[in-house]
Structure 1
Amino acid sequence: MKWYKSLSFALLFLVTLANAQSANRFFYELTFKPKKGIDSLQKTVMILDVTDKKSLYRDYLTVSQDSILKITVEKMQKSGIFQDMSKVIRQPKFSHKIYKSYPTMKVQYIDAVLNGGRPLYLSYSEETKFNWKIENEKKKIGEYEAQKATTEFGGRKWTAWFTESIPFPDGPYKFSGLPGLIVKIEDAEKNYSWELKGNKKIENYNELSYSEQLMAQFGGSLKTTDITREKFEKTLADFKKDPFANMRDQLSQIPADAKMPGTDKSVKDFIAEKERETKELYGSIDNSIEILEKK
């Protein structure tokens, strides 16, 4: 039943894509154009968790559904009946995580691919320096008095508004280096626009989501493999084209008449359905935040 164990890790990873300390969590509404050349917009909520040594930026869905996921998993464990968690849990729009180390603001960008049915966490690190031009213009963004700053980054021109009333030189995505937290930032063509909508203090903060804790509990590794950005981008692009490529040998060993536990659906039909859904998800966004030069 090796194939079933690998499949369990794979499905958990695909539908859900720490220390005892406190953290300040900032909630950003991200408005973005997912497709190149198309003006239709989508929205999602991203979070920036700030501790004394680092910050962590990610899609809020990766943690907001923890309680639902926990209840679903515990119910499956008690009943022994498989439940398709993709019917309960929504897949985040963005699967990456970004750490910034204080005070250097060195960036570690992390995403994952499937390797033999289990997630393999890949990362690249970079010293991201922003050449900010701070201007005199000020205005109120939400409840904050903010000041304007501009820069160029990732092939786009950006306008940011920061507030010195929150003395963190940080912001959403990779942005940092201003004398206060960024409360709004968008590129000139409004492909991506983040705006701070709220914040709260989290006591006994654990940066791991429930799905990550579950993977660690069942022997999955959360260790990241740091590679060059060029290799990272290629590996991730190849994975998105064929998410199950590294499982082909294992999938071929599944008996033709095998059924998903607790269902009348065949394992192969179930996998084909998940593969199609996963490819559609990854193909729904082709307008990247950074415009990478082709070599």
Structure 2
Amino acid sequence: MKKIGIIALALFMQNIYAQANRFVYQVTMKPDAANKTDIKTENAYLDISAEKSMFYSENRLKRDSIMQQNFQSGGARGFNRDQMEGLRSSINYSIEKDKTNQKTFFKDRIGRDNYSYEEDRPLSWKILPETTKIGEYKVQKAETDFAGRKWTAWFTTDLPYQDGPYKFTGLPGLIVKVEDAQGEYSFDLMKNYKIADFPTMNQFGNTIKVKRADYLKQQEKYRTDPMSFMSQQGGGFSQTRIGGGGIASPRSGGGNGRGGNQNPAEMRKRMEDRIKEEAKNNSNPIELK
């Protein structure tokens, strides 16, 4: 009985250690430079364990679940177009932080491929003495300049994590709120709970590891000439393949169950129109430089 008790305790402790914590942030964005009254709001998850963290759209996870169910049924049911459209996301990327090596990786889908780069701009924070309370947490103020915007963050040491949404990290606590000076992007912690493990994201296409500058070049190429980009694997870029983990962008899939009945000219026109609309709607990106 004593051995059984020890084994049970060991399994319990192992299960606790394997758990991750999910922090749900409300992300508010004004991505259209020509229409600052067009405010997008959606939830995103920051999943944290001892070794890593992942930040990604809640809608991305829901879309992946629907697509996975469809694949498991042999695609017989087809996608519910209205349901998938309702889960479109303005957060088409995912971000993974390697806590052991203190590295941050950005992942996004361009055309048929997933791209991954290591963030090469370290965050430099100025921690200020000002404190207040946000919800149940006592928080302290900090500021940084990053990617063309000035950001103000409020972090708490009430929780045993040194992390935050998006690429924000490096403060002695968890970021509860972070907002840019123009009020065009903000991340607000809403709630948190334990999860058994990190979710497995659907992987479509290849994953290509590049430098950040090369990712930006590919992104611009996709916007200016999407069809030629799609017709050539990886846009003609010299590729270094890596495995795992990309989050497919909603723009890549869609799946309404009708694609096979459309002629190529119609599909091309729809794709071009969609990409042009996406470019317009993302003319005020979170990173300005």
TM-score, scaled to structure 2: 0.75
Identity %: 34
Corresponding position: 1:201 with 2:184: no
Aligned to 2:29: 32
Shift of the 78–84 alpha-carbon distance from structure 1 to 2, 3 Å rule, reads closer
Shift of the 140–64 alpha-carbon distance from structure 1 to 2, 3 Å rule, reads farther
Shifted more, 35-44 versus 176-185: the winner is 35-44
Kept in 1: contact 2:47–2:198 (CA 8 A): no
Superposed CA offset, 1:111-162 (max 9, x none): 1222xxxx32222213443222222221121221111111222222111100
Aligned to 1:227: 210
Aligned to 1:236: 219
Shift of the 249–175 alpha-carbon distance from structure 1 to 2, 3 Å rule, reads closer
Kept in 2: contact 1:72–1:85 (CA 8 A): no
How far apart in 2 are the matches of 1:66 and 1:21? Answer: 23
Aligned to 2:190, what secondary structure does the other structure show?
A: strand
Shift of the 122–263 alpha-carbon distance from structure 1 to 2, 3 Å rule, reads closer
Aligned to 1:192: 185
Aligned to 1:281: 278
Q: Using the TM superposition, give the Cα deviation of residue 170 of structure 1 relative to its aligned residue in structure 2, in angstroms.
A: 0.8
Kept in 2: contact 1:242–1:279 (CA 8 A): no
Corresponding position: 1:88 with 2:86: no
Give RMSD over aligned pairs: 2.7
Q: Using the TM superposition, give the Cα deviation of residue 37 of structure 1 relative to its aligned residue in structure 2, in angstroms.
A: 5.2
* Residue identity matched to 2:151: W
Corresponding position: 1:102 with 2:85: no
Kept in 1: contact 2:151–2:178 (CA 8 A): yes
How far apart in 1 are the matches of 2:265 and 2:134? Answer: 51
Shift of the 167–128 alpha-carbon distance from structure 1 to 2, 3 Å rule, reads farther
* Residue identity matched to 1:43: T
How far apart in 1 are the matches of 2:99 and 2:258? Answer: 47
Aligned to 2:194, what secondary structure does the other structure show?
A: strand
Shifted more, 126-135 versus 68-77: the winner is 68-77
Corresponding position: 1:69 with 2:71: no
Q: Using the TM superposition, give the Cα deviation of residue 196 of structure 1 relative to its aligned residue in structure 2, in angstroms.
A: 0.4
Aligned to 2:167: 174
- 2:144 is aligned, of 151, 160, 179, to 151
Aligned to 1:126: 119
How far apart in 2 are the matches of 1:131 and 1:160? Answer: 12
How far apart in 2 are the matches of 1:196 and 1:261? Answer: 39
Q: Using the TM superposition, give the Cα deviation of residue 228 of structure 1 relative to its aligned residue in structure 2, in angstroms.
A: 2.1
Q: Using the TM superposition, give the Cα deviation of residue 285 of structure 1 relative to its aligned residue in structure 2, in angstroms.
A: 1.1
- 1:46 is aligned, of 41, 44, 47, to 44
Shift of the 261–167 alpha-carbon distance from structure 1 to 2, 3 Å rule, reads closer
- 2:19 is aligned, of 8, 19, 22, to 22
* Residue identity matched to 1:208: T
Aligned to 1:135: 128
Kept in 1: contact 2:155–2:171 (CA 8 A): yes
TM-score, scaled to structure 1: 0.74
Q: Using the TM superposition, give the Cα deviation of residue 248 of structure 1 relative to its aligned residue in structure 2, in angstroms.
A: 4.2
Shift of the 208–269 alpha-carbon distance from structure 1 to 2, 3 Å rule, reads same
How far apart in 1 are the matches of 2:259 and 2:181? Answer: 52
Aligned to 1:4: none
Q: Using the TM superposition, give the Cα deviation of residue 27 of structure 1 relative to its aligned residue in structure 2, in angstroms.
A: 0.9
Shifted more, 45-54 versus 236-245: the winner is 236-245
Kept in 1: contact 2:162–2:173 (CA 8 A): yes
Superposed CA offset, 1:39-88 (max 9, x none): 21221112111122111111221102343333444455346xxx355443
Kept in 1: contact 2:177–2:187 (CA 8 A): yes
Gaps of 5+ in 1: 1-19, 251-259
Q: Using the TM superposition, give the Cα deviation of residue 240 of structure 1 relative to its aligned residue in structure 2, in angstroms.
A: 2.8
* Residue identity matched to 2:83: V
Gaps of 5+ in 2: 1-16, 234-256
Kept in 2: contact 1:23–1:201 (CA 8 A): yes
Q: How many residues align?
A: 247
Shift of the 142–244 alpha-carbon distance from structure 1 to 2, 3 Å rule, reads farther
